[in-house]
Structure 1
Amino acid sequence: MKPEAHGGDRLRMAALAGRAPDSLLDFSVNVRPEGAPEFLRLALCRALDHISAYPSPHAEEAMEAAARVYGLPADCFVFGNGTNELIHLLARVLKEDGVPCAAVIEPAFSEYALACGLAGLEVRHLDCGVRRDGDSDEDMLRQLLSLLADVPPRAAVWLANPGNPSGSFLPPASCRRLLEARPDLLWIIDEAFAAYAGPDDVSSLIPQLPDNAVLLRSLTKFHAVPGVRLGYMVTQEERARRWRGRLPAWSVNAFALAAAQAVLEDTSDFAERTRDENNRR
């Protein structure tokens, strides 16, 4: 398999193994093993009532739901057909905006570099390694800033927080200090696994949304619906409005829209129970 190839491609893996797709256990993806929660399954079933009508052009209902959750203007949110679509959108608009290069903090999701390469951006791979026992947040901040010393102003930096597969995590206060130390950079923070680190107030930058940040969120991992394809990004209003205009209408289908609203409006104890279950493993 090519190094940039994704996990989750059961047809290809089955062909390589000479087995039926349903006979394989796929350990190449990090998705909640219990599958999607019941409240989300019900929302997807109810969405069947809406498949005869076009969904809202840019998932406006989800934008409003996110605005209520985070106390931000709805225009700060951009929803797409999975975070992967938004990663490629970002790479294209960064190139158009004249960003000098994209720095990827490794180890990282291969799609960051792949998308930037396809867009014609120079990619710099900066190896941060795996956070060692005993390393403090301050140690990690120093290491990251040292890695970025030669990255020019106006560059974009891709950083997963929490990191996958490293597991490195900077709490919001420390992450904000990192962004403030290099305000000349555009920081793209992938929070795909943030829900596992705790509620948003202790795991996410969204409630404080720095001006030089683009935050990515996904329903794939914590809510186990990679097949639905739903992700969103959060950034400053003018930037989000401009980038949202680069997406085709109806990129978020009726099922993905229903899933987004169900997750954002969920008041059950699902998230707390899932974190507890994960911590006991």
Structure 2
Amino acid sequence: MSKSFVLRAGERGHDVIYSDGSASSYVAGHPGSHISRESSFNFHQYQDGRPGFGTVRVFGDEVFNGAGCGYNMHPHHNFIICAFVLEGELTHINTAGRGMVDQLRQGDYYVFSAGSGGKHCELSISPENMNAIYLWLMPGQLYLPPSYHRAHFDIRTRRNRIVQLVGDADGALPVAQDLRVSRLVTDRAGRFTYTPRTPEHGVYVFVAEGGATVNGAALARRDSMGITGAGALALDVPDSSDIFFVETAMLDDARIRAWEKANGADLLD
């Protein structure tokens, strides 16, 4: 039997973090610059509310507002962090491997696996605001070597089909976890089917733009839905929609607490 929940856009957690005051060492930018964050799940400084979904701990819809706004250089251990740029330009500096400075624009995305330890910095240097979807994942194995991969989703040539961006498909960015991220951008109405690897996998569906009816549930812009135990997801999608699918192995709260006790909750940051 399938189980599901619907999270409306206005039900997400909401934070505004300014570049001055107590957060100035963490948030970059000129005075008055700020990060606005809409969070689907709760984790540390993110919203209080619904816990993570499977291996997903954070699903953040973030906007860097103002010149130079972003996150100053800061460390992570073991977490896998993905970013999908929807608007603007993201300058991403990271220490994986020999390190690199990357410029990401609309359609670009990355997977940064912090592993045994890494640092990164994310800034919106251009005058326009930057909007990205951030995804934080628990790793399948601790202390792997840090790694960084990036790619581009061409909206013009990959319309009207579900395309896997992260996971085990050819051309998808690799990730050390039982997880797949896919995207559907449409310019005409249609019916689509998303089939998870097994019914035991959960799928989190996020409507970035437009709308969709998913297994009978109507979702508008920035609405989302999590579903487990379903053999397939049937989507009726109007034109001009942009939809993300995050498929993950499911972990119940008891298994997560046991995992954290065995490995140390402080290892995930």
- The answer to whether the superposition gives a TM-score over 0.5 is no
| Larger relative contact order (Cα-Cα within 8 Å, sequence gap ≥ 6) | 1
Larger-gyration structure (1/2): 1
* Greater strand share, structure number: 2
TM-score (ref. length: structure 1):
0.31
